[in-house]
Chain A
Amino acid sequence: MKKISICAVLTAVSVSFPMMASAADSTVKSVQKRGYVQCGVTTGLPGFSNPDDKGKWQGVDVDVCRAVAAAALGDANKVKYTPLTAKERFTALQSGEIDLLSRVTTWTITRDASLGLNFTGVTYYDGQGFMVSKELGVKSAKELDGASVCIQSGTTTELNLADYFRQNGMKFEPVVFDTADQTAKGFEAGRCDVLTSDQSQLYALRIKLSKPDNAVVLPEVISKEPLGPVVRQGDDQWFNLVKWTLFAMVNAEELGLTSSNIEKEKKSKNPEVQRFINGEGSKALGVPGDWAYQIVKQVGNYGEIFESNVGASSPLKIERGLNALWTKGGIQYAPPMR
């Protein structure tokens, strides 16, 4: 998730030349001509993108793809999912294999500035956190001096952890595992006092424990991991469309529009709701006039997506935290649609 692969950077440099030559047809047009959106997702990450029992993709990242399809084509199901590994994700976007990369990608300056890509916004504010067993009786990460910590090897998690403990003048003993699964198993077997990973991951690992209630996630977040969808640089109309799809979902939550009540709200007197439903800006984005309405009708507002995939009504039970609306103590904020 956070590994910046040197390979990707190198290929990006080598690709930037041929890419400039072939920006002829705009992505919005070619998507509409083709009839579906090509969307890059993970090969399986709980709550973000994974196939369900029936083989249908689900998750927050998948719903972003669906929302873009609803806006551009009026049908949320017209998406072709390409499962991508962390290493090939940027090349798949650069080479035109996908139109949109919605794959828990952390927004960093190197990626945004040097890979020929644009980050369109933040769908999930993540950050590294700690999980301890209840019996330890620890309430804050500051009390973790001398603890043994289970980590997954080769991630920036390791570096963040070392930084944090050094800053606070504490010592720790790393217990390194190869995969997230093994890390959770190691924690369960008592190999370490603390497990550290991104918070969204911590919750996913927590439900894998045989007694999830015995583990608690500490409130401290020690790094910033804003995750969001990515598009190719140099196609501003498509960039705007994806960006405003995200904003539309957040605005819908703010206006109280949900997939179940938007039909009724069509008659609302509220001018903001009217502007939303009538699809302000549709001409400039090159999409049908009811684009925003279709997003909410078929996929839902930001809050609905969050709750059903990672929030209270999912097995992950992640709290909104930073991802709550700005009016409710979080930092999800969207510019007005007018």
Chain B
Amino acid sequence: MIQSDKKLPDLPPPRRSDGAFGWIRANLFSSVTNTLLTLLAVYLLYIGLVPLIQWAFIDASWVGETRDDCAVGGACWVFIKTRLNQFVYGFYPEELYWRVNWVFILFGVLITLLIAEKTPYKKWIVIFTLTVFPIITFYLVYGGAFGLEVVETHKWGGLMLTLILAVVGIVAALPFGILLALGRRSTMPVIKTFCTLFIEIWRGVPLITVLFMASVMLPLFIPEEIVFDKLVRALIGIVMFQSAYMAEVVRGGLQAIPKGQYEAASALGLSYWKMMGLIILPQALKLMIPGIVNTFIALFKDTSLVLVIGLLDLLAIVQAGLADAKWAGYSVEGYVFVGLVFWVFCFGMSRYSQALEKKLDTGHKS
């Protein structure tokens, strides 16, 4: 063995593979192709984002009262600002906004309590939200009792109407959907046929047709003296339509539960409803979360379709605002605003569903 006591020269230090530099090198500039793609992407972002920021923030007008306060070139957020109340409350009387605000606050508090992990008495809060809260909401928004003045539904509009349509649709469609799905898988022929027919008929027509029928055809079949509120008609249409969709999502979840679970439950001597309520549905609903939330998000956005029957939801009321000759020409600002509001709500729902999935994950997935 030859030994040398001469020290070998130090090797250069390895390239840094941690920290921001390391990450950038490894992910963005690892090869010639990747470098070129990165540069191209940066360039595209530059030509896209810079004018957008310029338009939306730097050149934009924020303060003022009329269109004269808007500088040419930038966005005119004055339009949104002066009409914000209308976009949120529709034609609701200004002095009664507090009633809607209370509903918003209560709704927000309840949702936060339900989302938070360690809320005490959660079961009671759920029951309160599903039973007492809708009644409170009805009397606050519509009035007619406890000395509250009646505010007719034709004065409702904007974001408030969008939320009412979506929340009622979502809350009512889920139980109906579960019942329909169970019915469709039932062995009783009458129930099975009825549920299948219901689902297939409502799923087979576009929502816009349902709304149109509810608004245009239905009044022709009922006597002139009976005034059947247009909003109620639209709501019934939306709930019917949505529960058919929900039923199919739930059925998908039910089918994913192995047969052994049903058999084990029966072997324990559980009745049908106990088997469903204690064994099957808790497992199935967990699997269905992405599907259910997907349906909810679709419904939330579908509510804008009520503009074809002259209900002024958020989108429609912004469009009506654009028709004001004093504000003509600011359609981009209006649509950007509507898009942002819708995005915030849908993104919120999506994040919540992901958190819920994680929380309920009991490790059946690999």
A residues apposed to B, CB below 8 Å: 7, 11, 14-15, 18, 22, 42-47, 50-55, 80-85, 87-88, 91-92, 94-97, 181, 204, 207-210, 314-316
**Interface contact A53-B323, CB-CB below 8 Å:** no
A22 and B223 contacting across the interface, CB-CB below 8 Å: yes
Count of chain B residues with a beta carbon within 8 Å of a chain A beta carbon: 40
Q: List residues of B (84-104) whose CB comes within 8 Å of A's CBs.
A: 85-86, 90-91, 94
Of A52, A88, A97, A207, which one neighbours B328 at CB under 8 angstroms?
A207
Contact A207 B325 (CB under 8 A): yes
Is residue B109 contacting chain A, with contact meaning CB distance below 8 A? no
Given known A-B contacts A53-B82, A95-B224, A88 and B325 have beta carbons under 8 A apart: no
Q: Does A43 lie within 8 Å of B310, measured CB to CB? A: yes
User: B307 at interface (Cβ–Cβ under 8 A)?
Assistant: yes
CB <8 Å contact, B323 and A44:
yes
Q: Are B320 and A11 in contact (CB under 8 A)?
A: no
Q: How far is the CB of B315 from chain A (nearest CB, A)?
A: 11
Does B331 sit within 8 A of A, measured CB to CB?
yes
Asked whether A210 and B72 contact (CB < 8 A) given A14-B220, A55-B90, A85-B310, the answer is yes
Option from A51, A85, A92 in Cβ contact (under 8 Å) with B324? A51
B137 within 8 A of A: no
Given A7-B216, A315-B326, check contact A43 B224 (CB 8 Å): no
Question: Nearest CB to that of A49 among chain B residues?
Answer: B323
Does residue B111 face the partner (Cβ distance < 8 Å to A)?
Answer: no
Chain B residues near A85: list those with CB within 8 A: 307-310
In contact, A95 and B219 (Cβ under 8 angstroms): yes
CA distance A45 to B323 in the complex (A): 5
- Which chain A residues lie closer than 8 Å to B82 at the CB level? 53
B328 and A44: CB pair below 8 A?
Answer: no
Inter-subunit contact B220/A95 (CB<8 Å): yes
Q: 21 A-B pairs, CB-CB below 8 angstroms?
A: A43-B323, A44-B320, A44-B322, A50-B320, A51-B86, A51-B324, A52-B326, A53-B82, A53-B83, A53-B326, A55-B85, A55-B86, A83-B310, A83-B311, A87-B212, A88-B216, A94-B220, A97-B227, A181-B331, A204-B325, A314-B325
Please tell me if B321 contacts chain A, counting CB pairs below 8 Å: yes
Query: With A and B bound together, what is the CA distance between A41 and B324 in angstroms?
Result: 14
* A52 close to B154 (CB less than 8 A): no
Contact of A88 among B152, B310, B326 (CB under 8 A): B310
6 extra interchain contacts, Cβ-Cβ under 8 A, other than A51-B91, A51-B317, A83-B320? A46-B323, A50-B324, A53-B324, A55-B85, A94-B220, A95-B224
Task: Give Cα A292 to B319, complex, Å.
Answer: 35
Contacting pair B224 A96 (CB below 8 A): yes
Determine how close the nearest CB of chain A comes to the CB of B209; give it in whole angstroms.
11
Chain B contact surface mostly: helix
Q: Is B217 interfacial (CB-CB < 8 Å)?
A: yes
Using Cβ atoms and an 8 Å threshold, which residues of chain A touch B223? 22
Bound-state CA distance A46–B219 (Å) is: 29
In this assembly, does B316 line the interface, its C-beta being within 8 Å of a C-beta of chain A? yes
Q: Which 7 A-B pairs have the closest CB atoms?
A: A44-B323, A44-B320, A95-B219, A208-B329, A96-B224, A50-B323, A46-B325
B303 interface residue, CB < 8 Å from A? no
Q: Does B215 contact A (CB under 8 A)?
A: yes
Please name all residues of chain B whose beta carbon is closer than 8 Å to the beta carbon of A7 when the two chains form the complex: 216
Check if B195 is an interface residue, CB within 8 A of chain A: no
Complex-state Cα separation, A46 to B220, whole angstroms: 31
Instruction: Determine whether the beta carbon of B325 is less than 8 Å from that of A47.
Output: yes
Q: State whether B312 touches A83 (Cβ < 8 A).
A: yes
A91 touches B219 (CB 8 A): yes
Beyond A43-B312, A52-B324, A80-B154, whether A91 also contacts B319 by CB under 8 A is no
Contacts of A46 in B (CB 8 A): 323-325, 328
Contacts of B326 in A (CB 8 A): 52-53, 315
Query: What residue in chain A is nearest B335 (Cβ atoms)?
Result: A181
Task: Evaluate whether A43 and B216 lie within 8 angstroms (CB atoms) in the complex, with A50-B323, A51-B91, A53-B82 already known.
Answer: no
Complex Cα gap A84–B308 (Å): 8
